């Protein structure tokens, strides 16, 4: 089965998919998105992803989109793909109209999806650990909306990879650890899981929510959602990044120093959260 695309109600091959040049997502980054995965034909947290998508559209003053109708289309695309392990990229732009900074909200939003086979992607948690760098946050002020305005994230992830590192972690002007380029971040200190609170500076990650509300609450792991300084990050007992795509990635080095958590091999007993 070839990889498929969904374009405003029509399912076609990805190679056939085209959007107009005056789409506001292309012209202004005026679009929101989600990435949804399936494992053994089970779609991970679909309702949570769609709820966040709706919140992002509301934050950006988008015209209404039927979430129940969108859910039906997502389910249909997964079914049509016949991939047990698949990834669906869903993007909604404000629509197509003559280029101008102001918008009318009178044109229909443009809905685009692609679905691809992820059977080749490893789902085993990385126990070797990753190395990261940090930089001062210079993104726009609405990071809690999941938009396609990702240039700072793209630049900083490229700089990390160019330096042989896995990711860049954004730090506020006050020195607080925020999130990675496409991940939330946690530290562990004295048995307590600590992460930045939900506000305009970070994305409300779905995997973040699962870790806090489905795992830690159930297992009685102490959780603190509070700002924490980069010094705490450097001296944490453990640290990890998480996202839908990356799952959980233990951090063993930040800025080339003060390893926040020991590296472990798969045959070593894990002494901590991971």
Whether 146 is catalytic? yes
Helix (H, G, I), strand (E, B) or coil at 91: strand
Name residues whose C-beta falls within 8 Å of residue 141's C-beta, 6 or more positions apart in sequence.
200
Question: Which residues make Cβ contacts (< 8 Å) with residue 216, sequence separation at least 6?
Answer: 193, 222, 223
**Of the listed 146, 162, 247, 269, which one is catalytic?**
146
Count the alpha carbons within 13 Å of 97 in the hemisphere toward its beta carbon.
Answer: 14
Cβ-contact 194, 186 below 8 angstroms: yes
Element of type H or E holding 51: helix 46-59
183 vs 240: CA distance, rounded Å: 10
- Euclidean distance between CA atoms 213 and 219, whole angstroms: 10
Provide the CA 19 distance to its chain's centre, in angstroms: 24
Q: Where are the alpha helices (DSSP H) in 82-211?
A: 151-162, 206-209
Distance CA 177, CA 199 (A): 13
Locus of tokens 């210079």: 138
Q: Are 1 and 81 in contact (CB under 8 A)?
A: yes
Query: Annotated active-site positions, please?
Result: 146
């Amino acid at each position: 089965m070839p990889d498929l695309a969904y374009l405003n109600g029509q399912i076609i091959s990805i190679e056939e998919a085209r959007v107009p040049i005056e789409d506001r997502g292309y012209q202004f980054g005026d679009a929101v998105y989600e990435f949804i995965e399936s494992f053994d034909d089970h779609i991970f947290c679909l309702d949570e992803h769609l709820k966040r998508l709706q919140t992002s559209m509301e934050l950006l003053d988008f015209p209404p989109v039927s979430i129940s109708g969108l859910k039906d289309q997502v389910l249909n695309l997964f079914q049509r793909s016949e991939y047990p392990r698949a990834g669906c990229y869903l993007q909604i732009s404000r629509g197509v109209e003559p280029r101008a900074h102001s918008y009318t909200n009178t044109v229909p939003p443009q809905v685009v999806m692609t679905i691809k086979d992820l059977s080749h992607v490893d789902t085993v948690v990385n126990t070797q650990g990753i190395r990261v760098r940090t930089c001062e946050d210079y993104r726009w002020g609405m990071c809690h909306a999941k938009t396609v305005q990702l240039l700072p994230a793209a630049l900083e992830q490229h700089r990390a990879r160019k330096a042989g590192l896995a990711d860049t972690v954004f730090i506020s002007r006050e020195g607080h650890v925020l999130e990675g380029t496409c991940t939330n971040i946690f530290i562990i200190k004295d048995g307590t899981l600590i992460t930045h609170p939900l506000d305009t500076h970070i994305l409300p990650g779905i995997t973040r929510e699962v870790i806090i509300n489905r795992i830690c609450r159930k297992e009685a792991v102490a959780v603190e959602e509070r700002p924490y300084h980069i010094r705490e990050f450097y001296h944490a007992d453990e640290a990890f990044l998480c996202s839908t795509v990356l799952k959980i990635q233990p951090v063993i080095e930040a800025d080339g120093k003060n390893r926040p958590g020991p590296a472990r091999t798969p045959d070593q007993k894990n002494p901590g959260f991971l």
